[in-house]
Structure 1
Amino acid sequence: MTDAAARPPVILSPSLLACDFTRLGEELATLKNAGVPWAHVDVMDGQFVPNISFGLPILAAARRASDLYMDVHLMIEQPERFLHDFAEAGADGMTVQVESTRHIHRAVGQIRELGKRAGVTLNPGTPLEMIRPVLADVDLVLVMSVNPGFGGQKFIGSSVERVRTVRRWLDEIGSAAELQVDGGVTAANARELVEAGATNLVAGSAIFGAAGGAAAGVQAFQAALAEQA
């Protein structure tokens, strides 16, 4: 396993699903001023997951308001239908669910052909082996630590071992892909996840719902992650 100390600093990708959409531009500015490089955009279609969030107009608005890296997680059926549209709307990277398409390798290739970073993810109940065939082809692997569809869920503890497994697989093939975790991530469990091999953490409620607002939420994570040094 690669020494954690040799890896780049952990990236925090706050989930806009938890932000105040009446103040989207301000929320994004707060994140940037706090030193956050990414914003996570959760797209849900009410079919792949039992919830509908937002789509192209919100992403486009976020893109106009900020130059943060737009990290788009497509929780939608047949994502291939919309990859070009999300690329045009401002996505820097797009992550697709292995369960949502019959042709995950093709979807990953299409994202890269659009000049975007490609990511793959899977639900907590899906065997990790499902993503292994495309590990060498992606720029990001997302380990979901809750069942996708709703924010504010409790972290599934067994996800830590799944992170360790994916970390080992990525190291074995010499991949520099980000290893992201999303779902119930807080400042309290951030250190454990990074020690297991995560390089990128998504958090929504823990940041935007923090007492003192998003800046205070980010600071709590930064303090926890500083303990890695």
Structure 2
Amino acid sequence: MPVVAPSLLSADLFQLGNQIEQIAATTAEYLHVDIMDGHYVPNINFGDKIVGELRQHTELTLDCHIMVDQPEQVIHDVAVAGGDILTFHPETSDHPYRQIQEIHRLGKKAGIAFDPGTAISTYADLLPIVDQVLVMTVSPGFGGQKFLPEMLNKIAQVKRIQQANQYQFDIEVDGGINDQTGQQCVNAGANVLVAGSYVFKNGITPAIMALSQLQQE
């Protein structure tokens, strides 16, 4: 069964405390926190301050998706604030290999994210040292987008590489995930499902339950 990571991008910030309590009472293990700078992606959203405040109020794993140009300083601040998994887009860093090493030095798990236009082969040399590979199933930067079914082949490709080399990373997907697209992603090899609109617009608990019960067919 997959790990479910509700995305706070779709949460009601005026009800955030109550919503996190609801999430914590379910089988969800992660909170997915999108950090955006208005450069790599058009929107500006969250940062190390919200990560630090979340850390004080929840024991859920803080799965931080860092969508910024030159992520080095942001990654350090998010790690110190209490982020648990720090995932960045390798094309945004001058030295992505070194950045992964730095995340590990800070005692955190390191992930790399592939947007729909980035080939896995471009950063294949990073795969042996990461803890998570995030395959974006929409273009990054906006919530509520329609799932791109073409990305199922990319998920399957990552799974084949993982199995062939006995790599230990998780395969996460993010974008347009609901019970139907989530099932397709699980079938392709994903084991972490990020879901925002689907979770927060469908009662939180029943939506998380539906996703967490998916099994590979």
- Could you say which TM-score interval applies, normalised by the shorter chain? over 0.9
Is the contact made by 2:135 and 2:173 (CA closer than 8 Å) also made in structure 1?
A: yes
Question: Partner of 2:87 in structure 1?
Answer: 95
Contact 2:2 2:211 in 1 (8 A): no
- Report runs of 4+ in structure 1 exceeding 3 Å deviation: none
**1:220 corresponds to:** 210
Counterpart of 1:3 in structure 2 is: none
* Paired AA for residue 104 in structure 2: R
1:161 aligns with 2:150: no
CA contact (8 A) 2:3 2:212 kept: no
Does structure 1 retain, via aligned residues, the 8 Å contact 2:42–2:141? yes
1:131 and 2:123 are equivalent in the alignment? yes
**CA deviation after TM superposition for structure 1 residue 222, in Å:** 3.2
Give me the TM-score of the superposition, normalised by structure 1: 0.91
**Equivalent pair of 2:137/2:176 in contact (CA under 8 Å):** yes
2:17 alignment partner, one of 16, 25, 42: 25
Coordinate RMSD, CA, aligned? 1.2
User: How far apart, in 2, do the equivalents of 1:144 and 1:20 lie?
Assistant: 23
* CA displacement, residues 32-62 of structure 1 (integer Å, 9 cap, x when unaligned): 1011111100000000101111111211121
**Structure 2 counterpart of 1:137, one-letter code:** I
Aligned-pair distance for 1:131?
2.3
Structure 1 gaps, min length 5 = 1-8
Q: Match for residue 144 of structure 1?
A: 136
Give the match for residue 69 of structure 1.
61
Task: Quote how far apart the aligned CAs of 1:216 are.
Answer: 2.3
Ranges in structure 2 where 5+ consecutive residues have no aligned partner: none
SS in 1 for 2:31: strand
Distance 1:44 1:62 in 2: 17
Question: Partners of 2:199 and 2:56 in 1: how far apart?
Answer: 22
Is the contact made by 2:137 and 2:173 (CA closer than 8 Å) also made in structure 1? yes
SS in structure 2 of the partner of residue 168 of structure 1: helix
TM-score normalised according to structure 2 size: 0.96
